[in-house]
Amino acid sequence: MLLARVALPVPLGQVFTYSVSAELAASVRRGARVLCELGRRKVLGVVLEVGDREPDIPVEKLKPVRAVVDAEPVLPEELLGFLQEIARYYVAPVGEVMELALPALERSAALAIEAPESTRAVGRLVQIARAVEGATAPSLRGKAPAVFEHLRDNGPQPLTALEAKWPSARGAVARLVEAGVVTLEKREEAVDPFTVAVAPDVPPALTAAQARAVTAITARLERGEKHAVLLEGVTASGKTEVYLRAAERALALERGVIVLVPEIALTPQLVARFRARLGSRLAVLHSGLGERERHAMWRSLRSGEVRIAVGARSALFAPVRALGLVCVDEEHDGSFKQEEGVRYHARDMALLRAHRAEAVCVLGSATPSATSVELARSGRLELLELPLRARAGSALPKAEVVDLRRMGPGPGGERLISVPLFRALEACVAAREQAILFLNRRGFSPSILCAACGKIAECPNCAVALTLHRARGGRLVCHYCDYQEPMRKACRSCGEEALIEEGAGTERIESVLAEILPGARIARLDRDVAAGQKSERILDRMRQGDIDVLVGTQMVTKGHDLPNVTLVGVLNADAALSLPDFRAAERTFQLLVQVAGRAGRGETPGRVLIQTWQPDHPAIVLAMKHDVKGFVAQELEQRREVGYPPFARLALVRFEATDDELARSQAARLAHAARGLGSPDVEVLGPTAAPLARLRGRYRHRFLVRSTDRARLHQVLLGVARSAVDRRVRMAIDVDPVSML
């Protein structure tokens, strides 16, 4: 009996075995989608294996494969094997991993039943009129002869285009169809993702360091070698130009290219650069696109019509043919880690996909992660450096510290806008230059405190303070579950009218700046005003000079090329240092260096003011000097001493339940079981309550598994994953966690 092992989109760590009828035997192939029954449901799965070996369950209990959806496997072998490796590494359900590579329309069982792939339409259908080859103009009245001649001379035309030329064209076409000289067919309307034309650019002359990097990368491409590179270059050193030259060579060699960026907001800027250099035959993939656009891009890549995929982390799963180059820009960024569902890290998996495809992987950053630097030190990554900015004479901005311990409130009474920063802003605006102010807190006030009883207004669902958002009508908002309530006059705990607005967020800073810098054009860039692709509109206004001062969160720190920005102010450099995470200092350092790098990218020198309560902290001292090597060396030495990555591997096992005791007891039971599964090489720490102890109404407990041996770590995690857990408890395994919260 022929059997198929199928990955189904269910949260179970197993594949399912189905029988294959003689009629379907020739078309059931590895990588193809098949329609199967799971209980009473019909679901689409991906075939992982076809063979005639004995099944794990009695043959009479096997259900048959109901239908085969694809004439050709929907997932090519290279991509399918990569997805299976992800499932193994992250101890994730293989069916859910398969979904990462398929647009929603390709995952719909209902659509597969209603329409096979050959007739499936994704977008709006349009009617196309075509003159029958060899037909002669009929003897008809009205516009019919003219319409026929137009179709004969110009080829097939949409009916809407004919109606724009002749309002009565629909009736004329109907008569021509009846006469047998014109055919009318329905076709899916083409999707053009690029509504704005981009003029071709002239490649700039490479610096000596850029030329060395391009030569090293393209040499590997030409030899068809699998290879990995860490491209470490200061801000504005021209890393994107290196990606472009490498991609150009890969295309010339008929190899495909994937380019990843950490944020959707960075995609338009990068896509514009690639289009200007390589033309518009590229695909854009990220969650900000509509399903129709995503599906059209996916199909163009799968067919081989397009060979370049650019986008956020989901672009890693693009079905690029003959993959030859993978570039990961801002490789250090935590946004490359998926925090829900399959918790993969796009940077790490980019290295894996390139290795499996025998491609070259380039990790680029001005502030590379400690993990990547250690890989370069050990010889597993080739280090290529761009030590100078690409623009001749352009130097890194001068950084200065403002010690908030010795500064009172500045103009407007806001302590986070000190007098030195205010004076610098005044001078910047007067000179018709631009400034960026970075504060990693949204809203008007991060917390509301009762001066009478000392209670802070908290979210009823999460163990966090509510943030005041005046732009939302003076409402208190939870930034985790989006719970909202109106701002009260009296304290909910004691009833006293003694509520105080504590701290400042980007909304408050924007408001204060409007008061103390009259006439200056102030704008804000954070999730509240620039979700998804809206951020590009604000950045376009910056590029066009319509904004003088831009206030923002992390969104302003990443990769944006704004040549007229000469001043950067970091309002509170210490915000992330107190987080309970061994990467807190590294993240702070990276943020400071990255946001400082937005200044002085044009002809005018840049200036950076870093306001801090801890001016002697190493992360701040070394960020002021742009001393990446010094910071990473110190950070690696500290982590080696305490056994943290990259000198050990970590996994967090989290438990969530509406009952605190239930979550705690399940965490304790599984932690005990994990210790029993392990060896002296595997350490189980905990369980403990998570730093964020309650989230969206669920209590959270976790334990940590640590080992220097990856195989033994995964052996323990597999045992945990297969353990029975109370159905009221959610368990999640996070391998190589980025957030310890």
Assess if residue 392 is contained within a domain.
no
CATH number at residue 699: 3.30.70.600
Report residue 423 as tokens: 């004076």
Task: Judge whether residue 400 has pLDDT over 50.
Answer: yes
Residue 532 has pLDDT above 80, yes or no: no
**Pairing of β 41-51 and β 125-131:** unpaired
Whether 725 has a pLDDT exceeding 60, the answer reads yes
Is residue 106 pLDDT above 70, yes or no? no
pLDDT tens-digit map of 509-524: 999 999 999 999 999 9
Return the bridge partners of 361, or none.
Answer: 228, 326
- What is the predicted pLDDT for the residue at 116? 47
Q: Would 449 be classed as within a structural domain?
A: no
| 273-282, 283-292, 532-541: range with highest mean pLDDT | 273-282
Question: Which pLDDT score is estimated for 422?
Answer: 96
Say which residue, 168 or 417, is predicted with more confidence.
Answer: 417
Q: Inform me whether the pLDDT recorded for 480 exceeds 90.
A: yes
Say if residue 122's pLDDT is above 50: no
Same domain, 538 and 570: yes
Q: What percentage of the chain's residues is helix, strand, coil (to nearest 5)?
A: 35, 25, 40
Q: What is the CATH number of the domain that holds 589?
A: 3.40.50.300
pLDDT at 664 over 50: yes
* Positive or negative torsion for Cα 247, 252, 253, 258: positive
**Residue 62 gets which letter from DSSP?**
P
Same structural domain, 375 and 433: no
Asked if residue 595 belongs to a domain, the reply is yes
The average pLDDT across 135-139 equals: 82
Question: Is residue 125 pLDDT above 80, yes or no?
Answer: no
Do 135 and 83 reside in the same domain of the chain? no
The count of domains in the chain is: 5
249 and 380 both lie in a single domain: yes
Q: Residue 549's domain spans which residues?
A: 398-444+504-638
pLDDT-derived band at 121, boundaries 50, 70, 90: very low
CATH number at residue 48: 3.40.1440.60
Q: What pLDDT was estimated at residue 142?
A: 84
- H helices within 307-380, ranges in order? 346-356, 370-377
Position 440 in a domain: yes
Residue at 473 is within a domain: no
Q: Quick one: 312 and 254 in the same domain? A: yes
538 and 684 assigned to the same domain:
no
Q: Is 27 exposed, middle or buried (0-12, 13-18, 19+ CB in 10 A)?
A: middle
Identity of residue 292: R
Show which of 85, 119, 153 is a domain's final residue.
119
* 219 and 99 together in one domain: no
Q: Which residues of 226-353 form beta strands (DSSP E)?
A: 227-233, 256-260, 283-285, 308-311, 323-329
> Do 274 and 410 share a domain, yes or no?
no
Decide if 497 is inside a domain: no
Average of per-residue pLDDT values in the chain: 90
Q: Which of 103, 119, 135 is the last residue of a domain?
A: 119
The last residue of one of the domains, among 60, 87, 119, is 119
How large is the average pLDDT for residues 479-499? 93
Predicted pLDDT at 294: 84
In a shared domain, residues 283 and 341: yes
pLDDT over 90 (residue 530): no
Q: Kindly report which listed range (104-118, 200-214, 550-564) carries the lowest average pLDDT score.
A: 104-118
pLDDT band at 128 (very low <50, low <70, confident <90, very high): confident
Flag the least confident range among 126-140, 309-323, 583-597, 618-632: 126-140
Is 498 contained in some domain?
no
Instruction: Return all residues near 59 (Cβ < 8 A) that are at least 6 apart.
Output: 1, 19
For the chain, how far is it from start to end, CA to CA, in angstroms? 50
Average pLDDT for 32-45 = 90
Q: Is the pLDDT of residue 354 over 90?
A: yes
- Mean pLDDT for the stretch of residues 130-139: 85
**pLDDT higher for 143 or 635?**
635
Q: What does the DSSP assignment read for 556-617? A: GTSS---TTEEEEEES-TTTTTTSSSTTHHHHHHHHHHHHHTTTT-SSSPPEEEEEES-TT-
Q: Are 261 and 330 in contact (CB under 8 A)?
A: yes
Q: How confident is the model at residue 118 (pLDDT cuts 50, 70, 90)?
A: very low
Q: Give yes or no: residues 528 and 670 share one domain.
A: no
pLDDT of the residue at 393: 72
User: Do 547 and 437 share a structural domain?
Assistant: yes
Task: Name the percent of the chain lying above pLDDT 90.
Answer: 69
Residues 80-96 have pLDDT tens digits of 999 999 999 999 999 99
Q: Which of 283-287, 431-435, 733-737 has the lowest mean pLDDT?
A: 283-287
570 within some domain: yes
Let me know whether 241 and 326 are in one domain. Answer: yes
Whether pLDDT at 115 is above 70: no
**Measured distance CA(545)–CA(438) in Å, rounded:** 19
pLDDT band at 123 (very low <50, low <70, confident <90, very high): very low
pLDDT band, very low/low/confident/very high, at 40 (cuts 50, 70, 90): confident
CB 506 within 8 A of CB 551: yes
Cα separation, 650 vs 667, in Å, equals 17
**Residue tagged 């250690």 (tokens):** 374
Residue 356 and residue 374: Cα distance in Å, rounded? Answer: 22
